[in-house]
Structure 1
């Protein structure tokens, strides 16, 4: 009989979920690309441009289906991103100073170098506004590729890539807020600030009802949308307000013990229901919301976003300096920046490589960081209003992301195959230093 399988850790469950999300994204993106280049491409464009209006009394909000997805559904994605950033900073991988420093330095290099390469190629041209496009990393795709490689890849590399992508997402949010914002409506901005203040106050007071944050989040989204900031920023702002401290209800432990006492018939059923309720209340609002949003984002938000945005019609002359800048930024700039930033942090003594991870494997992680799909497509929609420039950007993103996935997986297969022979002694030394076998 095989030994019982231990329960998966929260991080392991997260990796598995994001890996599946990556595979689902690939399929949805392929469907959109084929559809946009088929005889039925007119139906695809009609679907994207379908106008939907939401009415509440005298208030009306009308947007195309594409904008509902990019401004509305993606706010849910950014809410999840914000929750993950907050969790990692307070109690996760980024709570450790050395780990956080390694991820921050690698992410900073992985944003500055690709952006600079793109800017050099497109300075003064019509594509100059797209410098933020090659900065982002798609965590779902990257972890999906790592999952396909299985146990050949050390867990430390997966942890590093996850932390890198989370810091990278934080950088992308700042870039969007600071540089891809239209003219501001100060009245709506003031209402957004008041609503966010109410959410922050609720969080400080320990309000645990997700319904309260849901109402405040909906109002915040409307006000941010009207203010001129991109509406998805509302998701990140709301995430910062949701408390992560675990509530300690009065008499919680005594109630838990009482609910777990043996009994008969209806008593046992009632106590089990009480026990479920107590365990639910023991989780912080942040953990409950993050757990609830993961399947929504995995199975709905990201696939629908890919369907609306990956349908690029290939035409003659569709490639240009914008595409070249994005491809060079993601394929060359990302690994150079990520590995260079990490090497500098280690060299200065402020960080160290994850256990059992080698520099060649870090290069592989840098190549995978060049998979920019979701966030890069999102930024490209902000940088270019549409037409040929947006088509060039999307083609560059798709080409670079596919090549980064293939090259990154191939590189890691080669270096991980040779790692045990060359790094075995070093691993043994590290294990003894860490007190582990």
Structure 2
């Protein structure tokens, strides 16, 4: 008989697998970083207003230099922090931007549309409000101070306030913050660079091309990025463009990808060889294979990120937040349209811009909010977005030259941050009291039905494990074998259920493989077909799938008829599972539910066994 590829039928949107941003460890680190940033801010303010204030200003003006023969280069400590060390901060921002647009939250265009447009409105409207207070003159140059939100303080404030079910709000605000950072970086590049020199910028362009080609090097890519990045920083500095943008440029040219099966398996083979014959050669090979299985973007965020959060940003706060708060400076600030423009821009402009844009996108249907998010919740986040600190103080330093006016601007930034925090706290407390949000995706939406679900184990087993996955996902439990270990451990005490969640952007053949498995299920061959599909994840074209159906023991003519002619039977089984996953706002495979509760954390066999044991103990 002639086999033709079935027409693909899809009636629902699916999102790609994303890296988790909501782990307990990440939240703890974010909160600690925010607390450290606040501590050093207070130290700077107290120091600048203490009897030792002269020592503070002397420290900032102390020069640090490098001499080589007759050549000498020197920068004050304040400029060293702001122009050199802050490059690493913008480097981390660039890595995050690249990751979000490639494999993160911003890959889902309909979901990302709302925070993207809200972020743009949150950039533009504060500047308009500021210019209403300062329409002309030197102060008008400082409009960039009010455009940016401080992500570290924003996340820390959310942790302190502890709104009910904060995960969705946190993810929305982090997505918004990424776009906010992109806009702020563009503003710095376009409006706060001067004395342009063409020759160094030509060199910078050549270095950018070289950086783009580094990914093709067989080895030593890390040192190449580092050397070319330093060269780019020097070229931009000499060219009159703010050199911290070198960090962004390098980050945007570093590749990012989700872990793939073959590199991971290659690393496992190297580790197995080292275990059998420990020696330095195998150790280096295993280490290199492990590193290469994770993108350099991810590795750099892990290694450089903590240095920025716990070292560079607190140091930045120490050298920039030391504003004089005596009667004279506070009086000058209270009379200054510069101060009031910053306060109004950050507190009022951010709130109205983000809330209004979100309302407009929902009202017009141009974008959708994640399940569990309401406009009331967005209002609380929009208020907190008025916390401007890092980039705001950064732009104060480069947009305003007069020390007195700099102090007025810094007072405005600090006052706006405090007011925004109080405003956000009040909104969350009131809205959580008036209309408590419902949890989304914490519990299994549809109960297990052994007559309908693909299940293994006793129907009345005391423990249940439900997995939402797809056949092209290399890390689903059945693909890695971890579920077999879990079932062997618990035996008849465990009921395991498989449900479909094909993530087509990441796994383009997963939907067709799911349909094929359902066609095999009509002949009682689901698990045999699933075994074949997982065993051949890299070859899931229809010509291959038909061979797997034969190997699974299917009647091939009936299988072909069920896939092509009676396709609605198999299609609905897949879409029903996928629509359940969408309703629970699942966004990655595998996602597992232990005794009906969503599992958070690793999904290796040991972790799942531990989670099931803990669940059993909790029920006793």
Task: Provide the TM-score with structure 2 as the length reference.
Answer: 0.64
Structure 1 residue 100 displacement after superposition = 2.2
Structure 2 equivalent of residue 154 of structure 1: 166
Matched, 1:234 2:250: no
Q: Is the 8 A contact 2:126 2:346 kept in 1?
A: yes
Deviations 1:201-220 (A, max 9, x none): 21355766211101111111
* 2:397 pairs with one of 364, 381, 396: 381
Distance change in 2, residues 1:224/1:14 (3 Å): farther
| Paired residues of 1:107 and 1:167 also in contact (CA < 8 A) | yes
1:373-427, CA deviations, whole angstroms, 9 ceiling, x for partnerless residues? 111101111110132211111000000001111221232122123332xx55999
Structure 1, residues 78-135: CA drift from partner, whole Å, max 9, x if none? Answer: 0000000000010001111023211211111111111001001101233111111111
Question: Residues 153 and 55 (structure 1 numbering): CA distance in 2 closer, same or farther, change over 3 Å?
Answer: farther
Match of 1:395 in 2: 411
State the alpha-carbon separation in 2 of the partners of residues 408 and 208 from structure 1: 47
SS of residue matched to 1:127: helix
Question: Structure 1 residues 257, 44: CA separation in 2 closer, same or farther (over 3 Å shift)?
Answer: same
The CA deviation at 1:270 is 8.3
> Alpha carbons of 1:398 and 1:206: their partners in 2 closer, same or farther (altered >3 Å)?
farther
Deviates more, 1:350-359 or 1:335-344: 350-359
Which structure 2 residues correspond to residues 188-203 of structure 1 after superposition, within 5 A?
A: 188-203=200-215
Q: 1:258 to 1:222 in 2, by over 3 A?
A: closer
Per-residue CA shift, 1:333-357, capped at 9, x if unaligned?
1010011111222222121122212
Query: How far apart, in 2, do the equivalents of 1:290 and 1:56 lie?
Result: 33
Partner residue of 2:52? 40
Aligned to 2:229: 217
Task: List aligned pairs for 1:50-69, cutoff 5 A.
Answer: 50-56=62-68, 59-69=71-81
Contact 2:43 2:318 in 1 (8 A): yes
2:430 counterpart residue number: 414
Query: 1-side partners of 2:261 and 2:370: how far apart?
Result: 38
Q: Give the unaligned 5+ runs of structure 2.
A: 1-18, 447-579, 585-595, 597-620
Q: Secondary structure at the match of 2:67?
A: strand
Match of 1:85 in 2: 97
Equivalent position of 2:134 in the other structure: 122
Pair 1:325 & 2:341 matched: yes
Q: Where does residue 3 of structure 1 map in the other structure?
A: none
Whole-angstrom CA distance in 1 between matches of 2:148 and 2:382:
12
Question: Residues 358, 225 of structure 1: CA spacing in aligned structure 2 closer, same or farther, 3 A cutoff?
Answer: same
TM alignment of 1:84-103, pairs within 5 A: 84-103=96-115
Contact 1:32 / 1:310 at 8 angstroms: preserved in 2?
yes
User: Following the alignment from structure 1 to structure 2, what is the Cα–Cα distance between the partners of residues 50 and 100?
Assistant: 45
What's the counterpart of residue 336 of structure 1? 352
- SS state of the match for residue 181, structure 1? coil
Alignment check: 8 A CA contact 2:351 2:382 kept: yes
User: Which stretch shows the higher mean deviation, 51-60 or 178-187?
Assistant: 51-60
Deviation digits for residues 35-78 of structure 1, max 9, x if unmatched? 10111110000000001112345543211110000000111100
Give the whole-Å Cα distance in 2 for the aligned partners of 1:91 and 1:252: 18
1:203-248 alpha-carbon deviations (Å, 9 max, x no partner):
3557662111011111111111111111111110111111114698
In the alignment, does 2:361 pair up with 1:349?
Answer: no
Q: Structure 1 residues 247, 146: CA separation in 2 closer, same or farther (over 3 Å shift)?
A: closer
Root mean square deviation, CA, Å: 2.8
Give the match's secondary structure for 2:95: helix
Per-residue Cα deviation, 1:165-202 (whole angstroms, up to 9, x for no partner)? 11001000000111111120111111111111110121
Cα distance in 1 between the residues matched to 2:30 and 2:219: 29
* Cα distance in 1 between the residues matched to 2:393 and 2:263: 50
CA 1:206–1:340: 2 relative to 1, 3 Å: farther
Q: Distance in 1 between matches of 2:210 and 2:281?
A: 37
Once the two structures are overlaid, the 10-residue window that deviates more, 166-175 or 277-286, is 277-286
Structure 1's 344 and 38: CA in aligned 2 closer, same or farther, altered over 3 A?
same
Counterpart residue number, 2:301: 290
C-alpha separation in 1, matches of 2:64 and 2:332? 31
Q: Which has the higher contact order (CA 8 A, sep 6+)?
A: 1
Match of 1:5 in 2: none
Segment of structure 1 superposing worse, 176-185 or 402-411? 402-411
Aligned pair count?
A: 426
- Give the gaps of 5 or more residues in structure 1: 1-7
For 2:259 and 2:223, the matched residues in 1 are separated by: 17
**Contact 1:260–1:271 (8 Å) recurs in 2:** no
Q: Does 1:311 align with 2:322?
A: yes
Structure 1's 226 and 360: CA in aligned 2 closer, same or farther, altered over 3 A?
same
Paired residues for 1:266-281 under 5 Å: 267=278, 275-281=286-292
**1:256 equivalenced with 2:272 (yes/no):** no
2:80 is the alignment partner of 1:73: no
Change (3 A) 1:195 1:323: same
* CA deviation after TM superposition for structure 1 residue 24, in Å: 0.8
Displacement of 1:273 after TM fit? 6.8
What secondary structure is seen at the aligned counterpart in 2 of 1:39? coil
Which shifted more, 34-43 or 346-355?
346-355
Q: Which residue of 1 aligns with 2:602?
A: none
Aligned equivalents of 1:26, 1:336: Cα separation in 2:
26
Q: Secondary structure at the match of 1:54?
A: strand
Cα distance, 1:263–1:414 mapped onto 2, change above 3 Å:
same
Q: Of the candidates 300, 304, 312, which is equivalent to residue 311 of structure 2?
A: 300
1:363 and 1:88 map into 2 onto residues whose CA distance is 23
